[in-house]
Structures are given as structure tokens and as C-alpha cells.
Amino acid sequence: MVLLNQLLKKLEWKGKIMTIHFTKVIEPNPIIVNALNRWENNPQLVPFIRPNKNKMELEQQLQITIEEFKNRLDTQHFYLIFSDDKLVGEMNYMVDPNHLHKRAPGTAWIGITIGEENGRGKGIGFKAIQHLEKEVKKQGLSRIELGVFEFNTRAYKLYQQLGYQEIARIADFTYWNDSMWSDIRMEKYLG
């Protein structure tokens, strides 16, 4: 696996210094694919990381292959998130995908998953999004759009803290907890 763009950051969490770094993925390997499959099928994460039309989709198990992940890398810039040298999540962006709400050329669509429970609630997501924004800006893009499900209030607040503005709500977008929920679309212009 070829790893690029390693960035070291330190966060203090309850008196303990954590070392955070991000690595761009160029070539997939079984370790990464196994982690993605574990997160993609974690019942606690599924409602937050993929839209589901009904209970059956919500409970469906999905398996990503190395070949499928390799194909993703053709359209996504994909980064691993490490805390104290342990893989805790991933983040990615794609440029001008069809699912943008506002079709402004030069827009990055971003996504992030803190897959490991020990990586959540420690400010890692905040630092990860800041890093992703720098990578997007380096590519010469000036706008970012994202979607967050309306029940994910913690992520919504994080994006607001980072300067993202709500631009739309797509009703009945995903199923969770016996209800249909909206997808909140947010944007940020990079200065």
C-alpha cells in the first residue's frame, strides 16, 4: 500500500495527548477493506453512514470487495484516520457528483466515518474535516457540500461549528427508528 500526505496532529483528551494523522489511500488492501466492511455493517453506525429506504435495507449486510474499493478510488479521494497509530475512521471527497443539491462546478462532496467507538467524541472528526477541507482547497476547489441525516444532531452541530450552512432538506430520505427522516444538505465556501 502506498501512503501519501501523512499529517501529524496532537489532540488533548482528558489530559492525555493523542496523536492524530491522516493518510491518503492510493492502493486498497485487505486491512482497509476489512475495516470498511466492519463499519459498513455495524448496526450502531449503519443509520448514520448510509441512507436506507426501509427496515429491511437498514438491516442489510453489505460486503465491499477489494475490486469495488479500487473502483471507488477512481472517483474518490480517500483518507484513513488514525489515532495513536490505530485506524479509527475514514473520510473522502468526490468532485461534482450527480447527487449534489446545488450543482455548482468545482464542488467537493465530503463524507466521514469515525468507525471505531474509541475514536468518537474526542474531537477527531473536527480535525479530520479541517484536514479534508485543506486537501479540497489544494485541489483548487472553492465549495464543499455534504448531507447529514436530521436525527444526527451531533454531526449537524459539528458542521455548523466548522462554518457549514444549511441549504436544503430532502424529506423522507432515510429510514431509522421506525420513521423516515430528512437529509439536511449543507455547504461551505472555502476562502
C-alpha cell at 31: 486491512
CA distance 73 to 76: 5
pLDDT of residue 191: 83
How does pLDDT run across 104-116, given as a tens digit for each residue? 999 999 999 999 9
pLDDT of residue 1: 31
Return the amino acid letter for 64. I
How does pLDDT run across 40-73, given as a tens digit for each residue? 999 999 999 999 999 999 999 999 999 999 999 9
**How far, in whole angstroms, is CA 8 from its chain's centroid?**
19
Segments in the chain below pLDDT 70: 1-17
Bridge-based pairing state of the strands 107-114 and 165-176: unpaired
pLDDT of residue 15: 56
